[in-house]
Homo-oligomer: A and B are copies of this chain.
C-alpha cells in the first residue's frame, strides 16, 4: 500500500485533512525491517515512535530465563511505542517484526510539536491510549485470574468474531502467527498450548487444521473462556 494511504487508515490520524496528513508524513522517516531484525530493545532510549505501514510486528517482554511474553501484535496502520513519548524516556519492551515490515518512524520532538498544535491529533492519541489501556487490563485479568484454557478460548472467540469466514455454518479463523508465538501471547509455552488445543479438539469444540481453526461449539468455548467450566 502507498505510504500516505497507510497513514490515513491509522486511527491515530483519522479525521485529519489531506494536507495535515502530508505534513505529518513529512516529519516521518520510512524504514524497512527484515524478519527477526530488532526494532528496539527494552530500556533503550526512546527518540520517537512508530506506525506500521505493512507487515506484522511483535512487542514483547523477556524474562531472565528467556521466556517471552508478547504484549501486542501490531498489524498494518497501527501505531506502537506512542506512550514512550510521554512517560519515561525509554522503550518499555522489545519490538521485532514477525514478517518483513515497513515502518514509519516519528521523532519525538517534531511530533510533540505537532500534537500541541493539533487538537484532533491530541484526541486521537487519547483514544488510542485508552483502547490500549483496556487491552492491557484484559491481559492482566487473564494472566492473573484465568487458566490457559480460558485464555485460549477467549482469544479464539475474539479472532473468530473479527473473521468473516465460515464453512458449513461454522466459523473458521486463521491464527496469523505460529503456535509458538500464540503461546507467548497467551502467557504460556508451545507445549502447554499444544495440549490445550488437543483437549478442546477432543471435546469437539474446535477442529485444528494447522494454522486454521474451525469453531465447532462457540457456546462451550464461551463457557470455558468465562471460567465457568474447565
Residues of A within 8 A of B (CB): 61-65, 67, 69, 71, 82-88, 92-93, 115-116, 119, 122-123, 125-127, 129-134, 136-141, 143-146, 187, 226-228
Contacts and interface: CB of A to CB of B under 8 A. Distances in A.
Q: How many copies does the complex hold?
A: 2
Contact of A119 (B64, B88, B116): B116
A26 B206 CA distance: 55
Given A129-B126, A141-B69, A144-B69, A64 B227 contact: yes
Main secondary structure of the interface of A (DSSP, over half): helix
A61 B130 contact: no
Nearest to A64: B227
A209 to B, nearest CB: 29
Given A82-B130, A87-B131, A132-B133, 13 more contacts: A61-B141, A61-B145, A65-B227, A69-B140, A69-B141, A69-B145, A83-B134, A85-B130, A86-B127, A87-B133, A87-B134, A88-B134, A92-B137
22 contacts: A61-B137, A61-B140, A63-B146, A69-B144, A69-B145, A82-B130, A86-B130, A86-B131, A87-B133, A87-B134, A92-B134, A93-B137, A115-B126, A116-B119, A119-B119, A122-B122, A129-B133, A136-B139, A139-B140, A143-B143, A143-B144, A144-B187
